[in-house]
Amino acid sequence: MTISLTVTVLGGGSFGTAIANIIAHNNHKTFLWMRSSEHAAACQRARENTQYLPGYRLADSLEVTADLEMAVSQSDLVFVSIPSHSFRSVTQAIRPFLRKDAIVISTAKGIEPQGFTLMSQILEQELPNHPIGVLSGPNFAKEIVRQQQTGSVIASSDERVIECVQKTLCSASFRVYSNHDRYGVELGGALKNIYAIICGMAAALGAGQNTQAMLLTRSLAEMGRFAHLMGANPMTFLGLAGVGDLILTCTSDLSRNYRVGFALGQGKNLDEVVAGLGQVAEGVNTLKQVKQKADELGVYMPLVSGLYGILFEHKAIADVARGLMMGEQNTDVDYLGV
């Protein structure tokens, strides 16, 4: 028999709302924290997140609140589903309220520019005595709340964290796999956003299935090379949090980053596209950080360099595409035989 826990999800976006709803339906006492007291009150009253998941009823037992202390101080397990640019400030805000034994999980897919810091590294820095983990995978919130079969990955060096998250989130439509390579899982979630922009752009320009297949597999090769030099296991990228998330994000217009790329491929201005999106597209910021880090490490990432040239150096898409096709022809698979 599963022990009932008290769980808090920080962040009222689409994914945070979706997993909070699963947890509440699994009969755990569940809080969904939102920064805006007006939005939290409206969601609590209407039993619906009208801004991010309109039309989907929230579990009756799910408590939506803007009271951070009330939500966090009772919790055994806390999910931080906050965009990367606000992740550290929210993590600092919860520190005085956390129970000493509380488990903290990041679901954010981004990188803090200062020091190329991953979200779980922020948790390590700000909450050094708490067991932590990362939840990532090919997880569109709109499909989760429709109870379409979905797989995700919990990554941690602590088996207690893995077991707790698996038991808390497991349902007939949501399955959670385990991985001990936290950085690899986290890098997969951040890096794939760059390539979703590229694939969206290619689709807008009329690229065929051959082109999309090449882009996906070469993207995977770049991700593995980069992650290996960052200390992650490139084999992690063969799983749900790697190639699974890459395929999902690079082939669907439910992906914000894919939509950014598609709009750019139609000739729209980057600032205009990002402003009109209404939600964070992490890939644009991640691109700048990864390009800088790749240059420092000497990692061969032609797709990253090409997209950076288009977005920030005003290079023509056709010229960049021609350069990529005429560049050095390397081996197909890195680490073959490792």
Q: Which residues are catalytic?
A: 192
Within the chain, residue ranges assigned H as helices are 14-25, 37-46, 68-73, 84-94, 119-126, 141-145, 159-169, 182-204, 209-229, 245-251, 256-265, 270-277, 282-297, 302-312, 317-325
User: What letter does residue 237 receive in the DSSP assignment?
Assistant: G
At residue 190's C-alpha, the angle toward residues 187 and 195, to 5°, is 110
Tokens 């989907």 identify what position?
A: 56
Closest C-alpha to 211, from 317, 94, 95: 317
Strands 174-179 and 132-136: unpaired
Q: Does residue 334 contact residue 221 with C-beta atoms inside 8 Å? A: yes
At residue 8's C-alpha, the angle toward residues 193 and 97, to 5°, is 110
